[in-house]
Structure 1
């Protein structure tokens, strides 16, 4: 396990970077042109980044990135 000490400004910046990365991955997951292997890889990475973001974000903000209906797996 690795630990970091961040001040308030750095925490806000980290949350911003993670939020933008989550937005980008959601956009990629909605692209039906990507094959299933790439989508699974993005999905795995999304889960990791989401867990990181959950450490910074308030509950209200976090609920925007829960993926319970946004991504439907297709069998291509």
Structure 2
């Protein structure tokens, strides 16, 4: 795995809300794609990695209630 330095970012409320909105849209799209049976396993593997990265960022900005909307069920991992 690629090691990279920690990057900090300061956002005002408006910017944080915009970032949260963008992440929500991307997470919705990823969850939809991960449920699609027509997508190959190799592609789903990449989508899964992307989902985890974006979800971790989302948890820094969103409330716990919002985060639960985008949690995957254990069944979906298989």
TM-score (norm 2): 0.87
Between the aligned partners of 1:47 and 1:41, the Cα distance in structure 2 is 10
The reply on whether 1:30 has 2:40 as its aligned counterpart is: no
The reply on whether 1:60 has 2:43 as its aligned counterpart is: no
Between the aligned partners of 2:8 and 2:44, the Cα distance in structure 1 is 30
Equivalent position to 1:4, from 1, 9, 12: 9
CA root-mean-square deviation:
1.2
Q: How many matched pairs?
A: 73
Question: Where in structure 1 are there 5+ consecutive unaligned residues?
Answer: none
Between the aligned partners of 2:62 and 2:38, the Cα distance in structure 1 is 31
Structure with more of its chain in helix, by fraction? 2
Bigger RCO of structures 1 and 2 (CA < 8 A, at least 6 apart):
1
